[in-house]
Structures are given as structure tokens and as C-alpha cells.
Amino acid sequence: MGSVLQNEVDGAAPARWDETPILSVEHLTMRFGGLVAVNDLSFNVGRGDITALIGPNGAGKTTVFNCVTGFYKPTEGRTAMRHGAGLQASAIEEVTRSDRRYKESPQGSVYLLERMPDFEISQRAKVARTFQNIRLFGGMTALENLLVAQHNPLMIASLFTIGGILGVPGYKKAEKQAIEKARYWLEQVHLTERADDPAADLPYGAQRRLEIARAMCTDPLLLCLDEPAAGLNPRESHELNELLKFIRETHGTSILLIEHDMGVVMEISDHVIVLDYGVKISDGDALHVKSDPRVIAAYLGVDDEAEIDVPEIKHDLEEVVEEAQELAAADKSKPKPKPKKPRPAAKASGAKPAARNAGSPARAKAVVPAPSEIKIKNAADFPGRQPHGTKKPGPPGADNLTRIKGIGPANEKKLNALGIWRFGQIAVWKAPEVDWVGAWLAFPGRIQREEWVKQAKTLAKGGATAFSKRVDKGDVPTSKARKPRSGGKGGKP
């Protein structure tokens, strides 16, 4: 799926953010034990852009943030921050090959964030961040919060404390400047009146603004905001938009933000990246993303007929079906040489092959290595192995696959196109098949996560899962209820 999107992007002229990115995230993967929170994610953040990272809950947005700002060490991948203009590809390659964390020069510096400790990312690479659950220093005043943010320049001015204790004049001056800067930012976030109040005493919206002001006091080149509009009322949300635009225009700071509030995202973002289950599903400007069917599907959790209308998926599907027919025709004319023989005849409608293909998982296992009867043109493009499928479901008829949590009518159709008709067929999938189907359905990782195979095993034995019971009762709108609707809506015998 990644490749599909890449082609999309490559097809058009390179976007602005790909020409002069300030931050490049390349092949970022973050695993927590067995859980893959972010999988092979690549994107660019344009210089001077407001870039939004959106996606449903649990999509891995905050994990990406934590990797970029050094709070997590990514399992794989490279995050490069550039201070100079252009791609500076040679400098980045040079640093990557060496053991160094960064290369600084007057023309432009590059920093490999995944190698740097978190405090250095803020101090040197000039990436500041805010937190989803506000992390102010509650017992310190708003002013003190902004002074703490200027720790590093003040530390140098105080000659690493020694000069400060002895009272060198340079420190007094530096502190005055620091207070002036704090005053400036307090004005920008309308908190001058509350400068001497403890941060924990401020109302929620003010705390959010103060946190942004605090991050800006570190003089960042890239400001990462984790859900800055969460919990704000519409007026505050609007003020936030103005503040972010002001920051970008006046200070030239690039902004990367995670946001759920689509109003904020669509209004101010130059560039939107959509994540779902740790994978990038869309990347482009707000307009492009808004109309991307994958995004709509991810957001609404839809897996409905609507999705089948997405042109490219429809096209994929048509291709598959077409090919299957061609193959069937070819099959009829002359039997293929090697793999065909041991395989049960495709058209055979006897009880035996049906039992072998769709029967109990134990018996079906023996069949697994056999190649599918359905040929997919670009089957080799996907990792793993195409699962075995049959052209017809066999006498007992097809199972209602939507009883598996995660499979809706659209996916059921696609699976049917692969020759997957029955729970027993899914139940025998091993890792290669799961990977392949996942990639083919453009849902990498989702099959494991939703445990399709485990569900299928239960259902193949005639058991029921909590989800399937709800489907049978007709409680799940995205699935078809078993008896009354399966014939009509599913369209399968």
C-alpha cells in the first residue's frame, strides 16, 4: 500500500514539503514488544509549513511525536532535522555513515534526531513540543515557566552557576532579557495579567496557550503540538489558530501538530498526513486528504458498500475478477503443468474437494501449501503468500464472513474475489498468508490485530464470538445480519 501512495505522490510534481523539508521522517518503525505502533512511516515536514498529523485514536500519532522529540528511541528509521535550506542530502548521508549525531556548519546543520537524547533535541536541534495532557510546572508562576524554558542560554550567561553565585553583571543583563522575552510571549498568549499566578491556577485554555508560549521560549525552528485544541471552546480554538498563524508568519517557525479538531486542521494546515494503525494512509494538502476515501473509511470506521465505489479499489477488484475468469477459461482449455495436478479441480463440485477446501481446519491444513486457484496479476508485489482460494464456495454455500470482526461487506467481496468463501479457509492462514492478504487489502497489521484467524477458527467450528453474536442479532450496521439480509445485500448464494 505504501508503494501505491508513493506512486501517487511521485506521479505529480513534487510537493513543496518534499523539496525543502525541515524534518524528514524516513521508514520510521516503533515496536513495543509485539505491538507495532508505527510501521515504516515516511513523511516530510515542509519548512515554514503548518503540518497536521491526523488519524483515529490509537493510530500512533503521539508515538511519532515521541520518536521525533526523543522521548522514544525508534526501533528503525531515520529522522533528520535540517537547519539550512534544501535537502542537504549529502550532509545527512555523511552524518548517517559516521557515528556522529549531527553536523553543524554556518551554511546549514543537520541533526539525526533518533541518535540524540531528548534534551539535546530541544537544545541543539531546536525542536520544541507540547503535551497532550498539559505538562506545565504547576507550582511555578507563568513567568517562571517561561524562564525555565530559557534554561540553556541563561545557564551559559550564569557561567554554569558559578558566575551567577558570584553575581557577574552579565547574568543580570541576561536575566532581564529573558524576562523581556517572557513578557513578549505572555502578551502574545494574552496572559500578561496572570504572569505572577501559579500555572496550575490558570484556566484550561490559558494553560494550553502558556504551554505553547513556553515551547516558543526555547526558540524552536520546529514546534510540535500534541492536540493543542483539545478541550478548547470554539472561540479559544479560533484564537489558537490565530496564534499558530502568527507564530509561523512572524517567527518563521514550522509547526507539526496532532489534532482531532478537523476545523483547526482544515483551516490552518498546509499539509496533512493521515495515519491509521501506524501506517500512513494519506498525505497531501487539506483538500486532497478530505476527499481521500481511505481517510473517510478510517475516520468513520466504515467498511461499507460505499468503499467499493472508490474507483481504484473497484478497479483492483475488477481486475482480479477478470483475471480469475481468464484463468478459468485457460484452465478449461489446457491444464497447467505442475501445481495443478495435486490440487483439487477447480470446477469440481463433488463433496470431496469442498470438504478439503472448506471443511474443518485440521483437514484444510494439508491443503495450505497449494497455490490458489485465483491468480492475482501483481500477487508477487505483496509480501508473504497468497492464500489458497477456490473459485466456488462449494455445496454448503459461502459463510457470512462479516461475522468476523473487521470484515465488512466490502472486504467480504474482496475476499470472495480471492476465492475465500468460508471460515475454514481463513482459519488455516499462517503468517505469510496474513501478511499477503493484509497488504492486498491495504490493511497491513490489521488482520493480526483483529485476530481474524482466531475468530475464523472459532466460527469454523460452529462456535460464536461476542462480535458474531451481535452480527447475528443485526446490531452491527457495518456487517450484514446472518439470515434476513445475507442473501440480498451480500449478493452471494
Kindly tell me which of 69 and 425 has the beta carbon lying closer to another protein: 69
Q: Is 280 in contact with 41 (CB distance < 8 Å)?
A: yes
207 binds another protein (CB under 8 A): no
Residue 164 binds another protein, judged by CB under 8 A: yes
Q: In whole angstroms, how close is the CB of 269 to another protein at the nearest point?
A: 23
**What is the closest distance, in whole angstroms, from the C-beta atom of residue 127 to another protein in the complex?**
9
Q: Are strands 279-284 and 271-276 parallel, antiparallel or unpaired?
A: antiparallel
Question: Binding another protein by CB under 8 A: which of 192, 448, 458, 465?
Answer: 192
Could you say whether residue 143 binds another protein (CB under 8 A)? yes
Binding of residue 68 to another protein (CB under 8 A): no
Report, in Å, the least distance between residue 67 CB and another protein: 14
Share in percent of the chain as helix, strand, coil (round to 5): 50, 15, 40
Distance CA 340, CA 327 (A): 12
CA atoms within 13 A on the CB side of 387: 35
Q: Which stretch binds another protein (CB under 8 A): 44-52, 157-165, 360-368, 410-418?
A: 157-165
Q: Minimal distance in Å, beta carbon 197 to another protein?
A: 7
Burial class for 144, CB neighbours closer than 10 Å (0-12, 13-18, 19+): middle
Rule CB under 8 A: say whether 147 interacts with another protein. Answer: yes
Q: Which residues contact 151 (CB under 8 A, 6 or more apart)?
A: none
Compute the least distance from the CB of residue 153 to another protein, in Å.
Answer: 9
CA–CA distances in Å: residue 453 to residues 424, 427, 450, 469, 478: 9, 5, 9, 17, 20
Asked if 253 touches another protein (CB under 8 A), the answer is no
Among 61, 82, 83, 129, binds another protein (CB under 8 A): 129
Does 184 bind another protein (CB under 8 A)? Our answer is no
For strands 21-32 and 76-82, give the pairing: antiparallel
Contacting residue, 51, 122, 253, 386, with another protein by CB under 8 A: 122
Closest C-alpha to 114, from 152, 50, 53, 66: 66
Of 51, 79, 188, 218, which lies in the binding site for another protein, with binding defined by CB under 8 A? 218
Is 140 a residue that touches another protein (CB under 8 A)?
Answer: yes
- Least gap, CB of 128 to another protein (angstroms): 7
31 forms part of the interface with another protein (CB under 8 A): no
**Which residue, 104, 125, 107, is CA-closest to 115?**
125
Does residue 308 belong to the site contacting another protein (CB under 8 A)? no
What residues contact 305, with CB distance under 8 A and at least 6 apart? 409, 410
Task: In whole angstroms, give the CA distance from residue 162 to residue 176.
Answer: 19
Please say whether the beta carbons of 484 and 493 come within 8 A.
no
Query: Does residue 42 interact with another protein by CB under 8 A?
Result: no
Of the pair 44, 150, the CB lying nearest another protein is at 150
170 binding another protein? (CB under 8 A): no
Contact 295, 283 (CB under 8 A): no
Interface ranges with another protein (CB under 8 A): 69-71, 118-123, 128-129, 131, 135-141, 143-144, 147-152, 154-155, 158, 161, 164-165, 167, 171, 175, 179, 182-183, 186, 192, 195-198, 200-201, 214-215, 218
